[in-house]
Amino acid sequence: MTWDSTNVARLREKTRRRHRLGRVGLYLSAIGFSLFAVFPFSWAVISMFKRSNDLYSRDNNPFWFNEPPTLQHIQYLFRETNYLTFVRNTLIVGLVVTAVTLAFSLPTAYALARLRLKWGERMGIAIFLVYLIPPTLLFIPMTRVINFLGIQETLWSLILVYPTITIPISSWLLMGYFKSIPMDIEEQAMVDGYSRLGAITRVVMPLMFPGIVAVIVFAFTLSAHEFIYALSFNKASAVKTIATGVPTELIRGDVFFWQSLQSAVVLVAIPIALVFNAFLDRFIAGFTMGAVKG
Amino acid sequence: MALLEVRGLRKEFGDVVAVDGVDIKSEEGEFLVLLGPSGCGKTTLLRMIAGLEHPTEGQILLGGEDVTDLPPRARQIAMVFQSYALYPHMTVARNIAFPLKAQGVDGPERDEKVKWAAGLFGIEHLLHRRPRQLSGGERQRVALARAIVREPSVFLLDEPLSNLDAKLRAAARDDLMGFQRRIGITSVYVTHDQVEAMGMGDRIAVMRDGKIRQMGTPEEVYHHPADTFVAQFIGSPPMNLLDWGDYILGFRPEHFLPEGVQDGGDRVPFDFFVNRIEYLGSERYLYGFIPGHEETKVIAMLPATVTVPLEEQRQHRFSVASDQLRFFDKDGGQKIPPQTIQA
Ligand SMILES: Nc1ncnc2c1ncn2[C@@H]1O[C@H](COP(=O)(O)OP(=O)(O)OP(=O)(O)O)[C@@H](O)[C@H]1O
Ligand SMILES: [Mg+2]
C-alpha cells in the first residue's frame, strides 16, 4: 500500500470512528454498571416511603409510588424502636474497636516488618494462621471469657471480642504496607535530623495512609455488621447494635416491618457513603506515588 | 586533628563479618573514596559512620569527639543513599527543606537556604514538582541539594551515580567534583567503579572482605599497589601478575612495550607470544603469554603512537623498565622490595 493522501484520509477516518465507538462502549458499560449498583439502594429508598397497601398490592408497579409517599414508617422506626440507641451503640463500638485495632496493629506490624527480630517471620505467619480459625469455633471459649469477666449485656463485651479478630488481620495487612515503604526513606529522615519516632510520623505515616484507611474501613465495618457475638452477648435492647437490633426488633414472628427495615438501612448507609467518598481521592493517590527512583 | 576518624571499626551480622577492623583518618575538606568489590562492606562502613548501624567494636570520632553511641540526628552528617530516598509525598522544595525543619530553621531563612541549595545544583525550576515527576539525574540533584542544605560537617555518598547512564554519569561526576571543590566539605564517597575512584578521590581506600587493603592517593594506589588484590582491582586492563619462582612479578600493560620503542634506562627484556591483537583506535591491546609461563595471560597496551608492526601468532621481543616492575610475596600477595631478576 502506498501512502497517498486518500489512503491516509481513509485510515484517519477509520481510526476516528473506532475511537468514537470505543467512547460510546465505555459510557454504555459505565452506565450499565452504575444502574446495577444503584438498583438495590434506590429500591430501598423508594420502599421506605411507601404505604403498606402500595407495597403489598401485587398489581402495583414495585419501582414507583402508586399512592402518595409517607413518612410514617420512619417515624415508627424512631418512636417505637430503640433505633437511635442501636446507632449510638454501633458508633461507640465501631470507633473504640477501630482505635484499639490501630493502636495495637500499627506497632505490631512495624516491629514485624522492620526490626530484625529473630522470630519476626514466624510470628507473622502465626498471626496469619489466627485468621484461618473460623469465628464460630472461637465462639464458645469467648462466651466463657465474657461471662467470667461479667461483662455480658454491656458494650464492653463487643469492645473486647472484636479486636481479637481485627488486630491480627490488620497487623498482617499493615505489615505489607510497611514493607512496601523503602527502609531508605525512613533512614534518610533519621540522618536528616529526626528521631525514629519523628521519622515514622513525618515520613512513614503519610505514606501509610491507604493502609490505615483500609484498616479503619475493615475494623469499623466488621464491628458494624458482626452478628453472632453481638446477638449472643447482648440481648437487652439498650446494648444492641444495628446489626442485631434492627432484625430482632423489626421482624416479629413472621411480621416484617419492611419499610422501617429499609429506612434503618438507608439512614446509616448514606453518611457512611459520604465519608468514604471524601477519602476516596487520597486513598487512590496513595497508591500512585513514586517513592524511589524510576 | 582529623575531622573524621574511625578506629578499629568492626561489624558482625550473625556469622558474617561485614567490616573487619577498619581505621580511617580524614582531614578537613578531603574527598575520600571507598573502593571495593560488591559485598566488601562499603555500605556497612558508611552506615556506621552515619549512625544507622551500631558497630560491634571500635570507635567513630568527629572533630575529636567520640560519637559512636550518638544517634544519626546528633551527628550533623549528611548522607545520599544509592536510591536517593526522596520523600515521595513532598514537593522538591519541601524535600530540601526537611532537614532544616528538623533544626528548627523556618520562615524566610529556610526559603533562602532552600533557594541557595537548589541554585547550587541548578534545580530552582523544579521546586514545585514531586519526585515522581523527575528524571533520574534530577532526582540525584535533589538528593544532593537536600544533603547539603544544612551545611553538614561530613558528606557521605553511597554510589550516587550508579543509576545514571554513562553520559549523565560523566556530567554528574563533573558537577559533584566542582561542587565539592567550591564548598570544601569533607566527603566519603563509596563506589565499586575504579575509574570513578581514580578520577574523583584525593585519596582512595581499597577494601576487600571488610578490610582496607590500601589507602593512598590515586597515584600511590595505581603505581605502588600494596598487594596483588589492589594490583588487579585497579587499572583496566589490570596489572599483569606472573608466578616468578620465589615471588610474584607484576607490571602494568602500558609499560610492556616492544623492544626498541623506548631506549635508555635499565630495561628487562621478555619474550612475548602474541595470540590476538585488538585495535581500539587510540590504542592496541595485545593478548598472549610469556614462554615458560603459558598458564598466565599477559596483556600489553600500546598507544596509537607506537606503530611498530606486530603480528598475531608470533613471538616478539618486549621489555619493561626495571623501575616499573613490582614484586609480591607468594603467600598473602603482600608487596616486597625489588628483587634482581633473570628473564
Ligand atoms: N543487615 C544485614 N544483615 C546481614 N548481613 C548483612 C547486612 N547488611 C550487610 N550484610 C552483609 O555484609 C556484607 C557487606 O555488605 P555491604 O552492603 O556493606 O557491601 P557493599 O560493599 O556495600 O556492597 P555493594 O557494592 O554490593 O553495595 C555482605 O556480605 C552482606 O551480605
Ligand atoms: Mg553498597
Query: Within this chain, do residues A145 and A28 fall inside the same structural domain, yes or no?
Result: no
What's the total number of domains in chain A?
A: 2
Q: How far is the CA of B156 from the centre of ligand 2 (A)?
A: 12
Instruction: Assess A293–B contact: CB distance below 8 Å, yes or no.
Output: yes
Query: Residue A282's pLDDT is what?
Result: 65
Flag whether A293 is in a domain: no
pLDDT in tens, B232-251: 999 989 999 999 888 999 99
Query: Within this chain, do residues A227 and A164 fall inside the same structural domain, yes or no?
Result: yes
Flag whether A190 is in a domain: yes
Please list every residue in chain B whose beta carbon sits closer than 8 Å to the beta carbon of residue A198. 102
- Among positive and negative, which fits the CA dihedral A215, A216, A221, A222? positive
Query: Residue B151's pLDDT is what?
Result: 86
Query: Residue A2's pLDDT is what?
Result: 64
CB contact under 8 A, B136 and A294: yes
| Last-in-domain residue among A48, A70, A92 | A70
Query: Within this chain, do residues A269 and A151 fall inside the same structural domain, yes or no?
Result: yes
Query: Residue B61's pLDDT is what?
Result: 94
Query: Within this chain, do residues A25 and A132 fall inside the same structural domain, yes or no?
Result: no
Whose Cα sits closest to atom 30 in ligand 1?
B39
What residue numbers bound the domain in which A162 lies?
Answer: 73-288
Query: Within this chain, do residues A36 and A77 fall inside the same structural domain, yes or no?
Result: no
Question: How far apart are the C-alpha atoms of B173 and B195, rounded to whole Å?
Answer: 11
Instruction: Assess A134–B contact: CB distance below 8 Å, yes or no.
Output: no
Query: Residue B18's pLDDT is what?
Result: 95
Query: Within this chain, do residues A137 and A232 fall inside the same structural domain, yes or no?
Result: yes
Query: Residue B342's pLDDT is what?
Result: 64
The CB of B41 under 6 Å from ligand 1? The reply is yes
Whose Cα sits closest to atom 12 in ligand 1?
B18
Query: Residue A256's pLDDT is what?
Result: 87
CATH code for position A111: 1.10.3720.10
Query: Within this chain, do residues A58 and A196 fall inside the same structural domain, yes or no?
Result: no
Instruction: Assess B153–A contact: CB distance below 8 Å, yes or no.
Output: no
Flag whether A221 is in a domain: yes
Flag whether A27 is in a domain: yes
Flag whether A136 is in a domain: yes
Phi/psi at A154 (nearest 5 deg)? -135, 165
Query: Residue A287's pLDDT is what?
Result: 47
The CB of B34 under 6 Å from ligand 1? The reply is no
Query: Residue A285's pLDDT is what?
Result: 54
Residue B343 clears pLDDT 70, i.e. is over it: no
Q: What is the largest CA-CA distance in chain B?
A: 76
Question: How far apart are the C-alpha atoms of B284 and A62, rounded to whole Å?
Answer: 92
Flag whether A294 is in a domain: no
ipTM score of the complex? 0.85
Query: Residue A294's pLDDT is what?
Result: 33
Query: Within this chain, do residues A129 and A18 fall inside the same structural domain, yes or no?
Result: no
Strands B186-191 and B154-158: parallel
Q: Assess contact for B310 and B274: CB atoms under 8 A.
A: yes
Answer yes or no: pTM beyond 0.90: no
pLDDT less than 50: residues of chain A:
286-294
- Among positive and negative, which fits the CA dihedral B80, B85, B91, B97? negative
Residue A292 C-alpha, separation from nearest chain B C-alpha, in angstroms: 6
pLDDT in tens, A266-288: 998 898 888 888 877 766 654 44
Query: Within this chain, do residues A58 and A78 fall inside the same structural domain, yes or no?
Result: no
pLDDT in tens, B272-327: 999 999 999 899 999 999 999 999 999 999 999 988 889 999 999 999 999 999 99
Query: Within this chain, do residues A122 and A198 fall inside the same structural domain, yes or no?
Result: yes
Contacts of A63 (CB under 8 A, 6+ apart): A43, A46
Share of chain B above pLDDT 70, in %: 99
Flag whether A271 is in a domain: yes
Query: Within this chain, do residues A154 and A267 fall inside the same structural domain, yes or no?
Result: yes
Flag whether A147 is in a domain: yes
Domains in chain B, please, with CATH?
Answer: 4-223 (3.40.50.300), 239-342 (2.40.50.140)
Grid coordinates standing for A109?
A: 506490624
The overall average pLDDT reported for chain B is: 91
Whose Cα sits closest to atom 11 in ligand 1?
B18
Question: How far apart are the C-alpha atoms of B19 and B207, rounded to whole Å?
Answer: 10
Query: Within this chain, do residues A182 and A279 fall inside the same structural domain, yes or no?
Result: yes
Query: Residue B175's pLDDT is what?
Result: 82
List C-alpha distances in Å: A219 to A62, A162, A226, B155, B189: 36, 8, 10, 46, 48
Query: Residue A291's pLDDT is what?
Result: 40
Query: Residue A213's pLDDT is what?
Result: 86
Q: Assess contact for B292 and B266: CB atoms under 8 A.
A: no
**Is the pLDDT higher at A140 or at B98?**
B98
